[in-house]
Every structure is written in structure tokens, then in C-alpha cells.
Amino acid sequence: MSRSPSVLITGASGEIGHGLIARLAAGAARPVVTLDLNPLPPEVAPRVRQQFVGSILDTALLERVLAEYEVDRVYHLAALLSTRSEFSPALAHKVNVEGALNLLEFAQRQGESHGRPVVFFYPSSIAAFGLPDPATKAKAGRVAEDEYNVPTTMYGANKLYCEHLGRYYARHYKQLAAGPATGRVDFRCVRFPGLISADTVPSGGTSDYAPEMLHAAAAGTPYDCFVRPDTRIPFMAMPDAVDCILRLTAAPRAALTRTVYNVGAFAPTAAEVEAVARAAFPAARLGTKVDEKRQGIVDSWPADVDDAAARRDWGHAPRYDFAGCFRDYLIPRIKTRYAGATS
Ligand code: AKB
């Protein structure tokens, strides 16, 4: 098989992967190749050129992708999320850090073989922040990228370290000329807030309470939110998250003043999310049962983020604010998805 210019998405079977594959396939600029432990769902699979089912820790499998495809764009989405990582920290480190390093090496070697920089998108997280206590969180307000970089979870520590690994590959490792960012890996990263999708329900994260609450309300299943009603962290609608990825990866390299960008959209409390879920689905059976461990994790995340650099450098402009996200995106689609569930 001849090597053809392609895009590689790892973790493609996850929430972000679904939305990204749909958008990339619609644009059809380059064929999409995926790598995930789980096969793609049958409705998604026809949109990709080839799916490799396996682990990002399997370097022989990565060699196969390298041999068969000329990848010049990597979306490295595979990761264990925050709650799951707290239960298996050593495994989280393996997947989240060693896996990311394998992909950065893969990108470096791809770049060396075809002679062009490989754009490498990495989704970091608000988990890279660590605010010491609720009083500091309340006072801090919208936190900038370089503040409070003291994560309290394995996942957050993994994300922060991988941001640094990416910066190292982009700005210091095997640079081709004097001056910044002339390497083979063109690393670009956003710190995502909690994401909410109408089409998928997340698993293993700590921001999951918002999407879980909404999907349970629509399905008519009882749900106890695991954080206090006054808990506030930033969230974003999944289509805006995919927009962020596409905008950042399309931006001219010279326009980017950072390798890591905050991105925000809206920042409701858990009580505000519950109120809109109840208004849309009056039969919802929602309660609260605080899980202290998970509460501690979200208490260490900022109430909101300062995303001025993303807006300035590559035009971050989320379509949905809190009201619009529920009114125009989540509620109508979720109503259709669960039609009949509560009747
Ligand atoms: C999680 O909760 O682990 C993720 C995240 C905020 O990175 N959704």
C-alpha cells in the first residue's frame, strides 16, 4: 500500500472523537485513520479510511501506521479521565503520559520521513489547574494559563506534564533552524473545560455530573448529582469543542504565541444545570448525593478561565452560551434521542 497524506485520531471512539470524525469527514481534506482500543460504532466507521483497533502503548502498531500512512496531522485524544485515573494512577500515568510520548515520537518520525511539520493537537484540561481551597477559587475568578499550575490529581499532573512534553518537542527538540518553533512537531493544545454532548454520555470524568444529570432527566432515570449545588466550573458544548480543535489546528503557526491555550464558554453552578434540566424535563428525578473525593477534585478546578489569548491568536469564539447551549443544541437533540422514554 502506498503511503498517502492522512490524519490520525487516537481515542477516536470517545466523545470528542465522534464529533471530530464527523466534521473532518465532511470537509474531506485528508483521509482519516483512527486508533482506539474499541472499534468505532457502525454508524461512524464508514467515515474513516482505516481503523486500527489497539493500544497507543503498542509501539509495533504505531510502526505499522507509520509505514502505511503519511500522517501530517495528529489528534491525540486517547486518555483515562480524572475520576478513573484516581482509581488507577499507575495505569493512568502509563496511558496518559507514556501514550502521549509514543505519539509525539510518532509525529517526530513522521515529520522526519515526509519533511513537513506534523500538526499535533493535544486536549489538555482544566484539571491542569489546582486551586488550594474554595476561598482561593472564589477569589481567583477567571484563571489564566500560567496561574495555579499545581494539579491535585494524577490526571491533572499527567495533562500538565504532557503540555510541557509537547512544548519541548515543538520548541526545543531537534530544531531545524535558530529561532522558535522550527521542529518537526507543531504542538497545539487547549485546556478544555467540562464538555457536554447531546449525542454521547461521558465516562470516567469528574465534570460528568452535568451531562449525566441532563441525559438522566431526559431518559427519566433517577440521578443523584455527586457535587454540591453551588459547585461551579466552566463547560462547553461539544460542537464548540470541535470548533476549537479545527480553528486551532488551521491557524498559521506564526500567529500562535503559546503552545497551550485556555478555552471557555460558560460556567454554571450544578444547581443552574439542574434547574434547566428540570425545566426541560419536568418528570426528572434528580437529587444530590455528594461524593467527597469527586467534590474535592472539582473544588480544585477553577470556577472559570481567562481565554483572551485563544480569542486573540486564533479566533476562539464559542457559538453557545449557557442559555443557548441548552435551548438550541442540547434540549432539542436530547428530546429526540430519548423520545418516548418518559411517556
Ligand atoms: C474530566 O472530568 O476528567 C474531564 C476533564 C475536565 O478533563 N471531563
CA of 333 relative to ligand 1 center, distance in Å: 23
Q: Is the CB of 124 under 6 A from ligand 1?
A: no
Q: CA 134, CA 172: separation in Å to the nearest integer?
A: 37
Q: What's residue 343's pLDDT? A: 45
Q: Is the CB of 127 under 6 A from ligand 1?
A: yes
Pocket residue to mutate for ligand 1, from 86, 152, 154, 155, most atoms within 8 A of Cβ: 155
Longest Cα separation, the chain: 66
Kindly report, residue by residue over 70-123, the tens digit of the pLDDT: 999 999 999 999 999 999 999 999 999 999 999 999 999 999 999 999 999 999
Average pLDDT over residues 197-217: 95
Cell 461512524 belongs to which residue? Answer: 44
Q: What's residue 178's pLDDT? A: 67
CA 111 to chain centre: 24
Q: For 36-50, 91-105, 167-181, 311-325, which range has the lowest pLDDT when averaged over its residues?
A: 167-181
What is the CATH number that goes with domain 79-337? 3.40.50.720
Q: By alpha-carbon position, which residue is closest to atom 4 of ligand 1?
A: 205
Average pLDDT over residues 134-139: 96
**Residue 153's pLDDT band (cuts 50, 70, 90):** very high
Q: Is the CB of 197 under 6 A from ligand 1?
A: no
Nearest ligand 1 atom to the CA of 125 is 7
Q: What's residue 224's pLDDT? A: 98
Give yes or no for a contact between 167 and 177, defined as CB atoms under 8 angstroms apart. Answer: no
Average pLDDT over residues 132-151: 97
- Among 236, 252, 234, 233, CA closest to 244: 236
Q: CA 187, CA 84: separation in Å to the nearest integer?
A: 26
Q: What is the mean pLDDT of the chain?
A: 94
Residue bearing the bigger pLDDT, 64 or 343: 64
Model pTM score = 0.96
Give yes or no for a contact between 225 and 118, defined as CB atoms under 8 angstroms apart. Answer: no
Q: What's residue 4's pLDDT? A: 73
Q: Is the CB of 233 under 6 A from ligand 1?
A: no
CA of 147 relative to ligand 1 center, distance in Å: 19
Nearest ligand 1 atom to the CA of 195 is 8
- Give the cell for residue 277: 434540566
Domain borders along the chain are 79-337
Q: By alpha-carbon position, which residue is closest to atom 1 of ligand 1?
A: 205
Q: CA 247, CA 149: separation in Å to the nearest integer?
A: 25
Q: What's residue 229's pLDDT? A: 98
Q: What's residue 28's pLDDT? A: 67
Type of residue numbered 235 = F
CA of 28 relative to ligand 1 center, distance in Å: 29
CA 56 to chain centre: 17
Q: CA 24, CA 47: separation in Å to the nearest integer?
A: 9
Helix axes 238-250, 15-27, angle to 10 degrees: 50
Q: CA 155, CA 297: separation in Å to the nearest integer?
A: 11
Average pLDDT over residues 145-157: 98
Q: Is the CB of 85 under 6 A from ligand 1?
A: no
Q: By alpha-carbon position, which residue is closest to atom 7 of ligand 1?
A: 125
Q: By alpha-carbon position, which residue is closest to atom 6 of ligand 1?
A: 194
- HEC per residue, the chain: CCCEEEEEEECCCCHHHHHHHHHHHHHCCCCEEEEECCCCCCCCHHHCCEEEECCCCCHHHHHHHHHHEEEEEEEECCCCCHHHHHHCHHHHHHHHHHHHHHHHHHHHHHHHHHCCCEEEEEEEEHHHCCCCCHHHHHHHCEECCCCCCCCCCHHHHHHHHHHHHHHHHHHCCCCCCCCCCCCCEEEEEEEECEEECCCCCCCCCCCCHHHHHHHHHHHCCCEEECCCCCCECCEEEHHHHHHHHHHHHHCCHHHCCCCEEECCCECCEHHHHHHHHHHHCCCCCEEECCCHHHHHHHHCCCCEECCHHHHHHHCCCCCCCHHHHHHHHHHHHHHHHCCCCCC
